[in-house]
Structure 1
């Protein structure tokens, strides 16, 4: 991890953090070989990114003094994804958060397996672990993405969203043909492992989503996410 993440309620008097969990301590001891007075980068979730000084470091606990705040970026894209295998979704949640995802909206698509919605990653907000790991990797974003899980494709909630796209092999349109203003705050709809049905593509078109082709190949769900986000980020820079 490039930044160690903390929740706001772990801060003492807005200046100090004390923690004792194995994961974060293990990173300091094993990977960073940290010692007292070392400076490191920390992310306070939904608040910002900071430099912090280690004022106390023992085998089972650590104390940090929060120093200067570092400039961070605002998340910039939204994902609407058909439920896929839990291992796939884990990767999508973590790595898309690293890339700047503002929200994840998962739904059971017509070709999604029914069992996918019963995965343990959706119990007790377990999915949040992958979002936090994504922020720890990024060292740029600090806001936890919003998350929702639906039993069906509900497009009514996206009626007012301006720039919305769905990935499709049944088009020749690409992101590079769009104006920069059309790429701001994008919502990307990506089908499950077995893809969209014709009915779903028709519903997306009716709801104002534009079809986009990102590759000649049929991509895995996670690769489709990273490829499309990478193309968008390149065009936005």
Structure 2
């Protein structure tokens, strides 16, 4: 935990923070602070600063806080991601926070199993928990917006054009696989660092089908190739976002 995040519910006074949950256990077992120790704190959705421990026990930690620094800036990056397996989704949610994505849209695809959409990990509380863990790792307080689009065609036709306004759009889609041409093969380009507002679409395991690629291209997305190796979704997300970072 590189940042202790909190909300107004954790405050007993405007400048006094009390921790009693997993954050306290992390402090006691990992940080092992003493009275007077200074720790980095940040209000969710707000400013970052320091907290001085003024009382400490196995039951709670009390910190006097001072917030004076804005959260780290983000680039305008929208990630459109075919809904991955629930266990993988947890890791990806934290990853997109640490890489500074501003918006995540989870969409349906032909190769996405229907059961994934019934996963408890898609609940608002479960998503918020993983985003918060990502914020604590990244030292940030502002989580990306997360939306669900369980119907592919309405999303591409109705919602994607608005998301593409003022953005450069990419869809990760290899030109070839080890056993021959990729379904719906199209001319691809390599990603390169950019400071422009960007939208990146990444498909499910096995990739988008030809129909989906055609619809995404019609919306203005350019096919990009992440290299000759076949990547898992979470690896593709990390590689693609890493290549786009300036």
2:183 is aligned to none
1:133 is aligned to 133
Q: SS where residue 96 of structure 2 aligns?
A: helix
2:46 is aligned to 47
How many aligned positions are there? Answer: 228
2:159 is aligned to 157
2:184 is aligned to none
Give the superposition deviation at 1:19: 2.2
2:189 is aligned to 173
In structure 1, stretches of 5+ residues that fail to align are none
Instruction: Report runs of 4+ in structure 1 exceeding 3 Å deviation.
Output: none
Whether contact under 8 Å (1:112, 1:194) holds in the other structure is: no
**Alignment partners' CA distance in 1, 2:143 and 2:67:** 21
2:199 is aligned to 187
Give the superposition deviation at 1:224: 0.5
- TM-score, normalising length from structure 1? 0.90
Give the alignment's Cα RMSD to 1 decimal.
1.6
Residues 69-89 of structure 1, C-alpha deviations (whole Å, 9 max, x = no match): 234323322211111111111
1:227 is aligned to 239
Residues 86-132 of structure 1, C-alpha deviations (whole Å, 9 max, x = no match): 11111110111111121111012111001111111112421111100
What does residue range 1-237 of structure 1 map to in structure 2 within 5 Å? 1-21=1-21, 23-76=22-75, 77-139=77-139, 141-153=140-152, 154-155=155-156, 156-160=158-162, 161=164, 162-170=167-175, 171-176=187-192, 180=194, 183-233=195-245, 236=246
- TM-score, normalising length from structure 2? 0.87
Q: SS where residue 146 of structure 2 aligns?
A: strand
